[in-house]
Chain A
């Protein structure tokens, strides 16, 4: 144990030391230049490590991944071009189409549910006394801190299944049995994608706090005058919510929706720990991992990534446009 700690500590300090040294050297190098060049080149020295990392981990791999997606037996001596075969094989397989359909369900259901729960808590807690509001929000936000593997241990216990006749440890089955039913192996119930929905509940549980914080800030930013004016005009609470509050916080709702959507497109951990993609719960990220490691089919894995990237491009364009608009207002 002591050896382990020492080795880890040395590695950590060495890694940090090298990073600091790099900047120290770059700065010395810039200062050694004639002062006219120093001022001109220094910015590039400052951003150089950042762009080196971006090139090595984003630009080059992205290009390489696209190339791999048109190849077969990547990494083996027999590596060769196969055109669109990887894509054709994937899209032609019923299992992969199920995977795509599952992912689509996640993409539609989870962001919508997250926004709805987040908004409900934001609006309702806003009317509580300060201490109660704080307590409610802290509890809803807390799962954001926990890893999805941790969430897997939490919900694995909730969905736990023991055979008929043995005491149930999972609360969901305990309730079913107490009501006179037979215990259900929840994560294996794939009719109507029920088990996928149970996994979605886990992500909702983990992410609703994020939606709540942003939406709560927006709700508090709604001017009280507009609410009062609506009340004087005889609007009821539901009308105030849909016609006064929601339109004013619409841009935040869209932001939260898109942010959760991006996270959902890449969802991996929950499915990996709960079912490993079995019982018809597979999603694209897990299929990627299976192709990559289990099947050792890097071509197919790359093709999946390319499809994911194509799906993300519109979001990226939205992001850049948003950024430009924000800069213009600065």
Chain B
């Protein structure tokens, strides 16, 4: 699974057309256009439905779906933020949002720090066993995190950090790091070696070379993998469910999954809650699209 690590083209980025090459646009048949239109429609309508429903009052929701905004325009005047207010305050989603951040930020920073040092050692340092140790990292890439739940939960209970944020961070360190090492090492080995050699000749220590030279040059790769790791943790349900569970430290995913599980009362809040949880990922997506695409495609192999 080497290809995802270097996707050469981002969403919509197009290479310059070859000179004399036939115009590829020439043959866009009706079949293609219609198929694409249908797919785009199917992809986007569920999300628009959720967005519109989240602003409809409880009573309006009971009278029919979001399309009634078009069939019964009077209901547009009754659109409201109440669902958001009630979900964020009444269902503690504000707290859950902070929990999500408190989990995701260190769970992104710490594995990247560890991985950057290791990737530097693997790329620019000579030591016995280097290749074998790196193969270990590649093997670890796709091991599913399921292998660790039962034993690690037991360890956490024994040393008394069960149900805390550090417990979750450490787990994400263990499972986020191999991918980060792999991607960063691939990137670092494409850096011009002469620059690094000359820094050494000028008397820079390994640490200075790493900190002042290699790290700044690796920013594109670090940004991509940081975005991937952040979103992976932000969107994670299972790890948070196992190590934190529902309760005062639950992140958004866990809180909302509990809301989805309850039928009846407060169903109108689920739509608002769902959209609330998507705000951060969608912002990241829109603002950092280039890094985002590279990060997600590189990270898809993660176990």
The reply on A279 being an interface residue by CB < 8 A is no
> Across the interface, which residues of B come within 8 angstroms of A293, CB to CB?
242
Does A179 lie at the interface of the complex (its beta carbon under 8 Å from any beta carbon of B)?
no
Please tell me if the beta carbons of B50 and A140 are within 8 angstroms of each other in the complex: no
Q: Is the CB of A15 within 8 A of B24?
A: no
Query: Which residue among B98, B106, B256 has the maximum number of chain A CB atoms within 10 Å of its CB?
Result: B106
Contact status B296-A210, CB under 8 Å: yes
The answer to whether B65 touches A168, judged by C-beta atoms less than 8 angstroms apart, is: yes
Question: Nearest Cβ in chain A — how far from B226, in angstroms?
Answer: 13
On whether the beta carbons of B237 and A269 are closer than 8 Å, the reply is: yes
A-B contacts, 27 listed (Cβ < 8 Å): A1-B94, A4-B95, A15-B106, A15-B165, A43-B121, A43-B125, A43-B130, A50-B118, A50-B137, A50-B177, A61-B147, A64-B150, A121-B36, A145-B278, A147-B235, A147-B252, A149-B252, A154-B46, A158-B46, A213-B9, A213-B10, A216-B9, A262-B144, A266-B144, A292-B149, A301-B149, A305-B146
Contact residues in B for A168 (Cβ distance below 8 Å): 64-65
A-B pair count, CB < 8 Å, reads 371
A10–B64 Cα distance when bound, in Å, is: 46
Asked if A153 and B143 sit within 8 Å, CB to CB, the answer is no
Contact mask for chain A residues 162-186; partner B; CB cutoff 8 A; 1 contact, 0 none: 0000111111001000000000000
* Contact residues in B for A78 (Cβ distance below 8 Å): none
User: Does B187 sit at the interface, judged by CB under 8 A?
Assistant: no
Q: Tell me whether B4 and A320 are in contact (CB under 8 A).
A: no
* A322 CA / B130 CA spacing, docked (Å): 18
Kindly supply a per-residue 1/0 record for chain B positions 53-64, scoring 1 wherever the CB is within 8 Å of any chain A CB and 0 otherwise. Answer: 100000001111
B50 and A157 within 8 A (CB): yes
Pick from B94, B114, B135, B289 the residue with the most CB of A within 10 Å. B114
Q: For A135, list chain B residues within 8 Å (CB).
A: 12
Nearest first, the 9 A-B pairs at minimum CB distance are A57-B174, A153-B274, A134-B12, A147-B235, A46-B121, A64-B151, A61-B148, A145-B281, A8-B102
| In the assembled complex, A95 has its CB within 8 A of some CB on chain B | no
Interface: B142 (CB within 8 A):
yes
Distance (whole angstroms) from the CB of B254 to the closest CB of chain A: 8
> Which stretch, B25-33, B74-82, B191-199, touches the partner chain A?
B25-33
Give which listed residue, B21, B105, B144, contacts A312 with CB less than 8 A: B144
Chain B residue numbers with a CB within 8 Å of A19 are 106, 109-110, 113-114
Counting chain B residues whose Cβ lies within 8 A of the other chain, the interface size class is: 35 or more
Residues on B facing A (Cβ under 8 Å) = 1-4, 7-12, 14-15, 18, 21-22, 24-25, 27-29, 32, 35-36, 39-40, 43-47, 49-50, 53, 61-65, 67, 94-95, 98-99, 101-102, 105-106, 109-111, 113-115, 117-118, 120-122, 125-127, 130, 133, 135-144, 146-152, 154, 165-166, 169-171, 173-175, 177-178, 181, 189, 205-207, 231, 234-238, 241-242, 252-253, 256-257, 260-261, 270-271, 273-275, 277-278, 281-282, 284-285, 289, 292-293, 296-297, 300-301, 303
Q: How far is the CB of B134 from chain A (nearest CB, A)?
A: 9
Pairwise interchain contact A47-B122, C-beta atoms closer than 8 A: yes
- Nearest chain A residue, comparing its CB with the CB of B296: A144
- Chain B residues with CB below 8 A from A127, complex form: 24-25, 27-28, 32
- Which residues from 259 to 297 on chain A have a C-beta closer than 8 Å to any C-beta of chain B? 259, 262-263, 265-266, 268-269, 272-274, 276, 285, 288-289, 292-293
